[in-house]
Amino acid sequence: MVKVMDIPEEEFIYPGTRACAGCSMALIYRIALKALGPNTIITVPASCLTVLHGMQGFCTTKVSVYHTPFATTGAAASGIVASLESKGLSDDINVVAFAGDGGTVDIGIQSLSGAVERGTNFIFACYDNEAYMNTGVQRSGSTPPGAFSTTTPEGKTGYKKNMAKIMEAHGIPYVATAISSYPLDLYEKFQRAKGITGSKYLHILAPCPPGWGYEPKNSIEIGRLAVQTGFWPLYEVIEGKFILSKDSRRFLDASKRKPIEEYCNSQKRFRKISKEEIENHKRYINDLWNEIGQRLEEI
Amino acid sequence: MSNASFQEKRILTTGNYACAEGAITAGCLYFAGYPITPSSEIAAYMSRRLPQVNGTFVQMEDELASITSCFGASYTGKKAMTATSGPGLSLMAESIGLGVMLEVPTVIVTIMRGGPSTGQPTNASQSDVYQTRYASHGDYEIIVLAPSSVQEMYDLTIRAFNLSEKYRIPVIVASDGIVGQMMEVINIHSNIELVERKKPQVPPEKYKPFEAFDDDLVPGMAIAGTNYSFYVTGLTHDIEGDPQMTPEAAEVLIKRLCEKIKKARPQINDWEEKHLEDADTVILAYGINARGVPEVVEQARQKGYKVGLVRLKSLWPFPDELMERIGQMGVSKVIVCEMNNGMIIREVQRFQHLFTVSGITIPTTIPFSPKFIYEKLIKEV
């Protein structure tokens, strides 16, 4: 069990990044790099993370970063890994692809799937702020139903892709979900992923103050609500074995979960959400946890 | 963004919104796009506006999907558009050739930003002029229009639909980050001529999808899903649409596809000209970078220099006939101003037997100021 005291003090991103106030991606990146350490090469597609890295005369990261076109994050990582393997360095250097939800579940899914299918020894981390925030909040395949974006002015219809499940179906040794609001859990998952050979996938929910419509000071609270309402269960699948993470365990009991309305009402993006859509969310959460319950029983 | 349609005669709006509204005016009923700065406002506007006219807006998973879904919509009879910027147009490259091959009317808007690669996403550029012409592999012709104002974002988007319907080809509207995002007052005209694609000229049993009966070399286009069934493919095909791997088939098809655009150059090409009648020096510019040139020309003429202006409103096919006319009119020098390392200038240099060519070609992200152009000009005249 990781404690706050276990987290290294060394920082791998400089202060003064271009991230927005209250950005949870910045927090995720900071914690992840602490877990990964200095021997890390990052690949990143077009995303908010490229903005965090800097746009005007400075770069805020201390590790090597390969900024690659939107559709190619997994492929770029494949090249780095192949080269490191031929030099016998792939166990010493972590190769980590860091992409947003668009760069993972939409345009990035092909090269991610390809890299993983080839068994590339790397970590793919999706920080999921549930829309194209960097280009001004357009919906993505990861936007939840009912959420406003500039291209879903009446709220998104349809579903949020369950990307962690899609990656699990690739049969990779490590899949996990995480969130910025539980940094110790996040840290531990990156550490675990680092120690496993093969393709590792982390899907990390990343609350976004301007995109979701809430005060920057509430990022941690909103993220906790996502977990406490059962909307975002934290878990790992290690070599096919399902493990519900500590911070999500008590929500296996439906009565412990906060109402989803509390989560939706905390964000302006859901201001037009219909009652029907709220019911869909409830059904979705219910189904999600029934499945989790079944998986835990199977073990 | 206003939900109201552009009923008023004069409105203040941005280039990207004017482009989207121009598309609606032209009869666009399908938009597929993928977010990219500085074009995303077109998609955002269409997501609100298209449902109001019973059209369909779809946000796709990437640019390959965006453009090919437009072809699908066009194949089944809808006017379709997508909008992007340089990196997105790069991803559409293969499909631009497909659109030429399938002869599906489609409008592609590219709001140029700094490149190569990610470049300067929030700044303007004219560095994709070759990309609009040569993005796809293979031998082909394409139509590219170049608006330099918010008004022209509206007008030329309508024109792009018309040309694309008339010649059955993807038409690219090549604008830039400034024109796309700046605001200007525009006039909305009431009488706009709209062109619809040529219908099949024979009954279904006699229909051959790529048989051109007319001098314009454009075949009549059926609508998939009606009693006309037809096969379209990116493979080299004959007039029946069936794949043909013979050298003759390649020659016949490619010649027709290129010739239908080349021979229509006088109808396609469009430009604004000033003071050509007595000019011995002409400044040639286009897009946002042409906005300062009229001021330069007026200042120079007040000082007694015989300077004229040509502003291209269409870039491709290149207006060879205009260059020949300028030469015949006695112009001795053409100065090309463009915000790239020199692209259109190379086309103008093909006419160096008629006049000398020099350029102010800088791969910058801000348009040249009148003062800057004037100082360069007086050193040359």
Across the interface, whether the CB atoms of B47 and A153 are under 8 A apart is answered: yes
**Most B CBs within 10 Å, among A50, A107, A134, to test the B interface:** A107
CA A28 to chain B, closest CA, distance in angstroms equals: 24
Which of A102, A106, A138 is nearest residue B43 as measured by Cβ atoms?
A: A138
Residues of B in contact with A139 (CB under 8 A): 59
- Asked if the model's pLDDT at residue A241 lies above 90, the reply is yes
Q: Does B62 touch chain A (CB under 8 A)?
A: yes
Closest chain B C-alpha to A243 CA, distance in angstroms:
32
Enumerate the residues of chain B whose CB falls inside 8 A of the CB of residue A50.
Answer: 118
Chain B residues touching residue A69 (CB < 8 angstroms): 87, 117-118
Sign (positive or negative) of CA dihedral B146, B152, B155, B161? positive
pLDDT score recorded for residue A16: 85
- Rounded to the nearest angstrom, the minimum Cα separation between A169 and chain B is 21
Q: What are the tens digits of pLDDT across the range A63-121?
A: 999 999 999 999 999 999 999 999 999 889 999 999 999 999 999 999 999 999 999 99
Q: Tell me the pLDDT of chain A averaged across its residues.
A: 96
Residues 3-42 of A with CB under 8 A from B: none
Residue-wise pLDDT tens digits, B11-25: 999 999 999 999 999
Residues of chain B with CATH 3.40.50.920: 271-380
Interface test with B, best of A50, A101, A138 (most B CBs within 10 A): A138
The answer to whether residue A153 neighbours chain B at the CB level (below 8 Å) is: yes
Contact B256, B217 (CB under 8 A): yes
What does pTM read for this prediction? 0.95
Q: Is the pLDDT of residue A298 over 90?
A: no
Q: Express each pLDDT in A113-169 by its tens digit.
A: 999 999 999 999 999 999 999 999 999 999 999 999 999 999 999 999 999 999 999
Per-window interface: A 164-193 vs B, CB < 8 A: none
Q: Give the nearest partner residue to B62 out of A71, A135, A153, using CB atoms.
A: A71
B179 token code pair = 């024109």
Give the number of A-B residue pairs with CB atoms closer than 8 Å.
Answer: 50
- Cβ of B31 under 8 Å from any chain A Cβ? no
Whole-number pLDDT of residue B2: 46
All CATH 3.40.50.970 domain ranges of chain B, comma separated, are 3-187
Chain B hits for A18, CB-CB cut-off 8 Å, are none
In this structure, the number of other CB atoms found within 10 A of the CB of residue B343 comes to 21
pLDDT given at position B1: 43
Smallest CA–CA distance, residue B371 to chain A, in Å, is 28
- Which of B40, B117, B118 faces A136 most closely, judged by CB atoms? B40
Per-residue pLDDT tens over the stretch A197-216: 999 999 999 999 999 999 99
When CB atoms are compared, the residue of A71, A135, A151 closest to B47 is A151
pLDDT of A195 higher than 60? yes
pLDDT score at B7: 56
Fold of the domain built from segment(s) B271-380? Rossmann fold (3.40.50)
The residues near B272 (Cβ < 8 Å, ≥ 6 apart) are B309, B310, B311, B313
3-state secondary structure chain A: CCCHHHCCCCCCECCCCCCCCCCHHHHHHHHHHHHHCCCEEEEECCCHHHHHCCCCCCCCECCEEEECCHHHHHHHHHHHHHHHHHCCCCCCCEEEEEEECHHHHHCCHHHHHHHHHCCCCEEEEEEECCCECCCCCECCCCCCCCCCECCECCCCCCCCCCHHHHHHCCCCCEEEEEECCCHHHHHHHHHHHHCCCCEEEEEEECCCHHHHHCCHHHHHHHHHHHHHCCCCCCEEEECCEEEECHHHHHHHCHHHCCCHHHHHHCCHHHCCCCHHHHHHHHHHHHHHHHHHHHHHHHC
Asked whether the beta carbons of residue B59 and residue A151 sit closer than 8 angstroms, the reply is: yes
Would an 8 Å CB–CB cutoff place B34 in contact with chain A?
yes
Cβ-based contacts of B85 with chain A (< 8 Å): none
Q: Which segments of B193-303 does DSSP mark as H helices, in order?
A: 247-262, 265-268, 293-302
Which residue from B minimizes the CA distance to A45?
B118
Q: For the residues A277-285, what does the mean pLDDT come to?
A: 96
Within 8 A of B91 by CB-CB distance, chain A residues are 71
Contacts of B366 by beta carbon, 8 Å cutoff, 6+ apart: B123, B124, B339
ipTM for this model: 0.93
* A67 interface with B at CB cutoff 8 Å: yes
Q: What's the gap in Å between the CA of B64 and the closest CA on chain A?
A: 9
- pLDDT at residue B190, as a whole number: 77
Of the candidates B59, B87, B117, the beta carbon closest to that of A138 is on B59
pLDDT in tens, chain B (381 residues): 444 455 558 999 999 999 999 999 999 999 999 999 999 999 999 999 999 999 999 999 999 999 999 999 999 999 999 999 999 999 999 999 999 999 999 999 999 999 999 999 999 999 999 999 999 999 999 999 999 999 999 999 999 999 999 999 999 999 999 999 999 999 998 789 999 999 999 999 999 999 999 999 999 999 999 999 999 999 999 999 999 999 999 999 999 999 999 999 999 999 999 999 999 999 999 999 999 999 999 999 999 999 999 999 999 999 999 999 999 999 999 999 999 999 999 999 999 999 999 999 999 999 999 999 999 999 988
Given CB atoms, is B37 within the 8 Å cutoff of chain A? yes
The shortest C-alpha distance from A82 to chain B (Å) reads 24
Candidate from A106, A135, A141 with C-beta closest to B40 = A135
Banded model confidence at residue A58, pLDDT cuts 50, 70, 90: confident
Domain topology for B3-187: Rossmann fold (3.40.50)
DSSP lists the bridge partners of residue A203 as: A126, A177
pLDDT in tens, A23-53: 999 999 999 999 999 999 999 999 999 999 9
Asked if the peptide bond before residue B317 counts as cis, ω within 30 degrees of 0, the response is yes
Instruction: Indicate yes or no: CB of B117 within 8 angstroms of CB of A69.
Output: yes
Q: Which of B179, B118, B367, B35 is nearest to A55 (CA)?
A: B118
* pLDDT at residue A176 greater than cutoff 60: yes
Contacts of residue B44 in chain A, CB cutoff 8 Å? 136, 138, 150-151
The answer to whether residue A107 neighbours chain B at the CB level (below 8 Å) is: yes
Does residue A57 register a pLDDT over 90? no
Which of A67, A112, A150, A166 has the highest number of chain B CBs within 10 A, making it the mutation to test binding with B? A150
